[in-house]
Structure 1
Amino acid sequence: MIIVTGANGQLGRAIVERLLTRIPAGQIGVSVRNPEKAQELKEQGVRVRRGDYNDPISLAHAFEGASQVLIVSCDSLGEAAVRQHCTAIDIAKLAGARRILYTSHMASSPTSLFPPMVDHAATEAALRASGVAFTALRNGFYAASVLMLLGDALKTGELVAPADGPVSWTAHADLAEAAAIALSEESLDGVTPDLTATEAIDLDGIAAIASELTHRPIRRIVVPDAQYRDSLIAHGLSEERADMYVGLFQASRRGEFNRVDPTLARIIGRPPMSLRAALSAAISSAR
């Protein structure tokens, strides 16, 4: 049985939906913190069990009978994130899974300026040390994040953020399809090449695309890192989260997210969704 964690989240649910087009529902199980939110999957024949990275006993039940386990990265940071991922790896191994997959990131590195990338690198190290066959899916930066970065710019006409660099924005749908293929065909061993779209675009480019899509000018305004951090805290973010977002811009300036690779297109058999198409869909749904 293939077990997918985090199946109530955007990526995890998309992966399960694509798996359902490739293998029988009875061969799929999901591990979710709230089984009630996965009722639709249960009705389709998917095994739904509660599983929480902070509760090893629940994971053991959720992973029972697993041949493969896909660990979708959590939304925690630092030591907490790595601890949760390692717990999931350990329980998957104890459950007898012959292969463990993990949704990593193209910029995974212990020296990244963006804190989540350090967590991904530590999790990849734990996978290597587990002794179980593994696949670390080095996903491109989620295109869905662009709408968050735009913030109020669609209303104010001003995209205010620190200096940045090009990013390989990649759609959840494409990454979910690649993960479903990797699970159902048991392909992609070890750490994958970067799974990205075909272009890297900075915020100047995003502002230009958004201007065209909304038919109104959006001006890019660069502010110092410290000013941006203070504004995030003033809007209620914790200092840890504010530092994380500042690190995102620092990492992009250093070129951590600007690589493009043909692997994703090869796996899914078509060109990945462009940022323009992803942003168009996001703007339309936000209206």
Structure 2
Amino acid sequence: MILVTGASGQLGRLVIDNLLNTTPANQIVAAVRNPEKVVDLAEKGIQVRKADYSDLDSLVAAMQGVEKVLLVSSSEVGQRTAQHSNVINAAKQASVALIAYTSILNADKSPLILAKEHVETENLLAKSGVPYVLLRNGWYSENYTMGVAGALEHGVVGCAEDGKLSTAARADYAAAAAAVVIKNGQAGKVYELAGDNAFTLSEYAAAISKVSGKTVAYQNVPETEFTKILVSVGLPEGFAAVLADSEAGASKGGLFSDSKDLSTLIGRPTTSIEDSIKAAL
């Protein structure tokens, strides 16, 4: 059986959708904090088991009879290392044969603050004795395109300067994760997962202009100012600072890779930023 953590989240659900193409529903376990959120998955025959990243006992119980675990990284920045440690320890107690972990692109050399907990988790995996494979995910294109309406009104604002962004659609990363967990011989592998065609935020603004027919420009601002802008639109100050740090990290190459691991795994080109913009519009 294959267990997917965070199965009620956007990535987890997409992974399960992909697994259903190759794996019987009763061999898929959706591990969620609140089973009521995934009644639709249970109706498809998927095993829904209650599990909380912060509750080791619940994780051990959820992993009984499970062969492989896809550890979708927790969304609770600052608590991730402890929560991931629980998942790893539970997998060890349950004698799981493989953990696939969704890390961050170029984790071992990333300038992003967000990379810290991912590196700590990778180190925990290395010390655990449980076979594992690393899925180092780049940025989701949706991180940008979910704000395309605002970009059409106010232009694209950021602090990435001319840094290249190797983004791909969330669905691309989900397809890759599903492809890895159904394969044998994955232990010890590290996949740097990134979009085929990188772009700068100036090029992103130009792509919005092309798709929408409305001229959109990119304005680069200092990191501190970008943080203030994010706070002004309602983001918590701490989270805004993390996002701004990620943008600044992009200016140093932190979100760029010319790896073709992602398109190789999914057997097709990654979704272009233009197509992601069209979907958002």
Q: What TM-score results when the alignment is normalised by the length of structure 1? A: 0.92
Query: 1:151 offset after TM fit, Å?
Result: 6.3
CA contact (8 A) 1:138 1:191 kept: no
Q: Which amino acid aligns with 1:5?
A: T
Answer yes or no: is 1:93 the counterpart of 2:92: yes
Corresponding residue for residue 160 of structure 1: 157
| Runs of 4 or more consecutive aligned structure 1 residues displaced over 4 Å after TM superposition | 148-151
Corresponding residue for residue 206 of structure 2: 208
What does the per-residue CA deviation read over 1:127-172, in whole Å, with 9 as the maximum and x for residues that have no partner? 111101101111221111112454611223x212224311101112
Corresponding residue for residue 9 of structure 2: 9
2: distance between equivalents of 1:26 and 1:41? 11
Q: What TM-score results when the alignment is normalised by the length of structure 2? A: 0.94
Q: Which amino acid aligns with 1:255?
A: G
CA contact (8 A) 1:264 1:272 kept: yes
Alignment of 1:217-236 (within 5 A): 217-236=215-234
Q: 2:169 aligns with which of 168, 171, 195?
A: 171
Query: 1:75 offset after TM fit, Å?
Result: 1.0
CA contact (8 A) 1:194 1:260 kept: no
Q: Which amino acid aligns with 1:272?
A: T
Query: 1:216 offset after TM fit, Å?
Result: 0.5
Answer yes or no: is 1:81 the counterpart of 2:80: yes
Q: How many residues align?
A: 280
CA contact (8 A) 1:30 1:62 kept: no
- Sequence identity of aligned pairs in percent? 36
Q: Which amino acid aligns with 1:119?
A: E
Q: Which runs of 5+ in 1 are unaligned?
A: none
Change (3 A) 1:196 1:187: farther
2: distance between equivalents of 1:153 and 1:253? 20
Alignment of 1:132-281 (within 5 A): 132-148=130-146, 150=148, 152-156=150-154, 158-164=155-161, 165-281=163-279
Corresponding residue for residue 59 of structure 2: 59
2: distance between equivalents of 1:171 and 1:104? 16
2: distance between equivalents of 1:32 and 1:213? 38
Q: Which runs of 5+ in 2 are unaligned?
A: none
SS of the residue corresponding to residue 197 of structure 1 reads coil
Q: Which is further off, 111-120 or 15-24?
A: 111-120
SS of the residue corresponding to residue 4 of structure 1 reads strand
SS of the residue corresponding to residue 190 of structure 1 reads coil
